[in-house]
């Protein structure tokens, strides 16, 4: 009995490759650690990525996320950010003309809650007492990243 096939050469070896196609899930802490390392002076993103079995394009994406406030880096490890202060200006309460005040009946008013205003790049952010610090920080990071 002869075995005939269309392929003149029989298959002698089959190679099975395993481990390909798996998706790795990176925690935010891992991403933050890798991004922080990539921001170090003299660091090369491709080398940092290779050391952590990641791709350079992933690390670049995480760096963009960090700049735009979608990935939070620890405060003490943020690159190119130093603590800085701006002058605080306390504006006097607005003075209404006497005629306008006399025309309105006096009303009991609540004292205004403490608030700060941050004005940058044509945007005013008002932060009232008790605001969530992480939310305010995220808003300011996004504002900082605007062009």
| pLDDT at res. 94 | 63
CA R_g for the chain? 30
Closest CA to 124 of 98, 92, 91: 91
pTM score > 0.85 for this model? no
**Cα dihedral: 128, 133, 138, 139 (round 10):** 10
Domain ranges in the chain are: 23-84
CA distance from start to end of the chain: 78
List, in sequence order, the alpha helices (H) in 56-103: 56-67, 98-103
| Per-residue pLDDT tens listing for the chain (147 residues) | 565 566 566 677 877 766 656 678 899 999 999 999 999 889 999 999 999 999 999 999 999 998 888 888 876 544 455 555 566 666 666 665 555 555 565 666 666 677 888 877 777 888 888 888 888 888 877 777 765
Nearest to 143 by CA among 115, 127, 123, 128: 123
What's the CA gap between 91 and 134, in Å, rounded?
A: 27
pLDDT of residue 23: 76
Torsion sign over Cα 58, 63, 68, 74: positive
> What is the pLDDT, as a whole number, of residue 77?
46
Q: DSSP code of 126?
A: E
* Sequence-distant (≥ 6) Cβ neighbours of residue 115 within 8 angstroms: 126, 127, 128, 129
């Amino acid at each position: 009995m002869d075995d005939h096939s269309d392929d003149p050469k029989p298959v002698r070896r089959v190679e099975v490759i395993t481990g390909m196609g798996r998706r790795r899930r990176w925690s935010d802490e891992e991403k933050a650690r890798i991004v922080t390392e990539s921001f170090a002076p003299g660091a090369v993103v491709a080398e940092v990525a290779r050391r952590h079995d990641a791709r350079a394009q992933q690390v670049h994406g995480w760096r963009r996320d960090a700049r735009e406030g979608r990935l939070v880096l620890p405060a003490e490890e943020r690159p190119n950010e130093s603590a800085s202060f701006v002058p605080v200006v306390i504006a006097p309460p607005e003075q209404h003309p006497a005629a306008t005040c006399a025309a309105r009946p006096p009303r009991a008013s609540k004292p205004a809650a403490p608030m700060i205003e941050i004005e940058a790049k044509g945007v005013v952010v008002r932060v009232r007492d008790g605001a969530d610090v992480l939310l305010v920080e995220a808003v300011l990071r996004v504002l900082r990243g605007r062009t």
